[in-house]
A = this chain, B = another copy of it.
Amino acid sequence: MKMSEGVEWGLHCALILGNLPPTTAMPAKALAELHGVSESYLLKHLKSMTAAGILESLPGPRGGYRLSRPATEVTVLDVVDAIEGKGPAFRCTEIRQRGPFPAPAEICNRKACMISATMLRAERAWRDVLRAQTIADLGAEVVSDVEPERLGKIFDWVRERTRS
């Protein structure tokens, strides 16, 4: 079970975009350069986040990406779902309906397999943790962590590449 590397990229980008003044945007080229990753590939993930309603994209010069709602209303789970897809990691293939003693389909429709229920319960706990943390929370923690001097340089660099 491996999570896409794009999730990390998407979260870092969301953090940057969450610290931008409202109604301003930042192009993917700048985001890619700031994080040292491929612009073409990052674009793919930003597109997914846009499709999920987390980001807004503005075409043309002075265009770019921005959060579609305040950072306090975007959770880490939103970003993960946007990039990884919403489906659960564990997919019950209904093994109990196979083999020489298959379980009747109507019973299976009525009550889920206990194995599936356990796995889904675990995933719900996982999702709850991610849903409890917003991009704003995470951004604040990161900001308080990074050395002030470096933080200033980053902010300046970002400001220069911010378009309204």
A residues sitting closer than 8 Å to B (CB atoms) are 1-5, 7-9, 11-12, 15, 33-37, 76, 84, 87, 89-93, 95-96, 98-101, 103-104, 107, 111, 113-115, 118-119, 121-123, 125-130, 133, 138, 141-142, 145-147, 150, 153-154, 157
Chain B nearest CB from A18 CB (Å) reads 13
Chain B residues lying within 8 Å of A103, measured Cβ to Cβ, are 146-147, 150
Chain B residues lying within 8 Å of A15, measured Cβ to Cβ, are 115
- The CA of A138 and the CA of B122, in the complex, are separated in Å by 14
Chain B residues lying within 8 Å of A125, measured Cβ to Cβ, are 125-126, 128-129
A-B contact pairs, 14 of them (CB 8 A): A2-B91, A3-B91, A5-B91, A7-B90, A8-B92, A11-B115, A15-B115, A36-B98, A37-B98, A76-B119, A114-B141, A114-B142, A119-B130, A123-B126
Q: Contacts A1-B84, A114-B138, A115-B11 known; A99 to B36 CB distance under 8 Å?
A: yes
